[in-house]
Amino acid sequence: MLTNKGKYGLKALTHLAGLPVGRTAQSVEIATANNIPKKFLDAILGELRVAGIVSTKKGKGGGYRLARAPALISVGAAVRVLDGPLAPIGCASRKSYRPCADCHDIRTCTVRLMMLEVRDVSARVLDHTSLEDMCRKPSEMDGLTYEI
């Protein structure tokens, strides 16, 4: 499940994606426009900056902006930075695998097998959706489908 941190991060990123090229936004502007607690947003933007998804500009006209074009930033990358692995349980994670203490055989565990499928479908959708895609008007997204 997407946490508030992930949700607020995506809202902030889509806010930045909607800005004219070269323009920046102050965190207070982003927070106010998206009903996000400013202190929490500052921490989120800091993580996104360290990950190279957003950059900052100092001085007059300074603030936050996307580090690259919205079409080049996947939603999956942002969610992983903010919320960690996409797998719903540790034993279904590719990068952060953790075995379950109560599992006797991971090859036949029906819960793990189902969660592997959930992880794969989630990753496919999130990794093939860019910030630019997210910013489309709802009417333009009606026909948007994902190969599953």
Q: How far apart (Å, rounded) are the C-alpha atoms in residues 143 and 108?
A: 38
User: Whose CA is closest to 133, among 6, 17, 54?
Assistant: 17
Task: Report pLDDT for 87.
Answer: 87
The pLDDT of 90-97, averaged and rounded, is 85
Q: Going from the N-terminus, what domains does the chain have, and what CATH number goes with each? A: 4-66 (1.10.10.10), 86-141 (no CATH)
Task: Report pLDDT for 145.
Answer: 61
Report the chain's mean pLDDT, rounded to a whole number.
90
DSSP per-residue letters across 47-66: HHHHTTSEEEE-STT-EEEE
Q: How far apart (Å, rounded) are the C-alpha atoms in residues 10 and 44?
A: 10
pLDDT in tens, 115-143: 899 999 999 999 999 999 999 866 655 65
Task: Report pLDDT for 140.
Answer: 59
Residue 24 phi, psi dihedral angles, 5° rounding = -115, 170
- pTM, full prediction: 0.85
Are 129 and 74 in contact, with CB atoms under 8 Å apart? yes
pLDDT in tens, 22-73: 899 999 999 999 999 999 999 999 999 999 999 998 888 789 999 999 999 9
pLDDT exceeds cutoff 80 at 78: yes
Say which residue, 97 or 39, is predicted with more confidence: 39
Q: How far apart (Å, rounded) are the C-alpha atoms in residues 106 and 6?
A: 29
The pLDDT of 78-90, averaged and rounded, is 92
pLDDT exceeds cutoff 60 at 91: yes
Count of beta carbons in the 10 Å neighbourhood of residue 45: 24
Q: Which residue has the tokens 């499940």?
A: 1
User: Whose CA is closest to 126, among 68, 87, 69?
Assistant: 87
